[in-house]
């Protein structure tokens, strides 16, 4: 999608720090990290959010969660734990309308999720 920030990152038009990539998924460090590890995992196909995942093939969707696991492992988070978050829509404060999964870890998370 032409005016989508994350599509521009996938295309390399906006620089990012790549953590993982395969044919379906791109993962990169969040520009404003909220934990010692804060990586964004996104499908290469543009869909707006979890509310629009019916537009994604099951393989693309599965690849996103698998990439979250791979990122957690490569970041050394699997032993102590990590959190995967996907904000969807205005009430959840989604600011970039391209589906993304935040992979957060490296410190004790709060018990409250919201
Ligand atoms: P949301 O608020 O939509 O759940 O998450 C969007 C995330 O994208 C935020 O955590 C924000 O810091 C991150 N972000 C916004 N613009 C950029 C950018 O240009 N580069 C990178 N790496 N992250 C960005
Ligand atoms: Zn996009």
Nearest CA to ligand 1 atom 19: 31
Say which ligand is closest to the CA of 104. Answer: 1
pLDDT recorded at residue 47: 98
Q: What are the tens digits of pLDDT across the range 52-70?
A: 999 999 999 999 999 999 9
Instruction: Give the Cα separation of 27 and 44 in Å (integer).
Output: 10
What is the reported pTM? 0.98
- Tell me if residue 73 falls in helix, strand or coil: helix
Active site residue 46: no
Residue 2 is predicted with a pLDDT of: 79
Give the largest Cα separation in the chain, rounded: 39
Residues sharing a CB contact under 8 Å with residue 66, sequence separation 6 or more, in sequence order: 25
């Amino acid at each position: 999608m032409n005016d989508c920030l994350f599509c521009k990152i996938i295309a390399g038009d906006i620089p990012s720090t790549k953590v993982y990539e395969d044919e379906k998924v791109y993962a990169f460090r969040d520009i404003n990290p909220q934990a010692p590890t804060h990586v964004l995992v996104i499908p290469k196909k543009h869909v707006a959010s979890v509310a629009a995942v019916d537009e994604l093939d099951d393989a693309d969707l599965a690849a996103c969660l698998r990439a979250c696991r791979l990122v957690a492992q490569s970041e050394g988070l699997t032993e102590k734990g990590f959190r995967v978050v996907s904000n969807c829509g205005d009430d959840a404060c989604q600011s970039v309308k391209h589906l993304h999964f935040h992979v957060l870890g490296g410190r004790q998370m709060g018990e409250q999720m919201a």
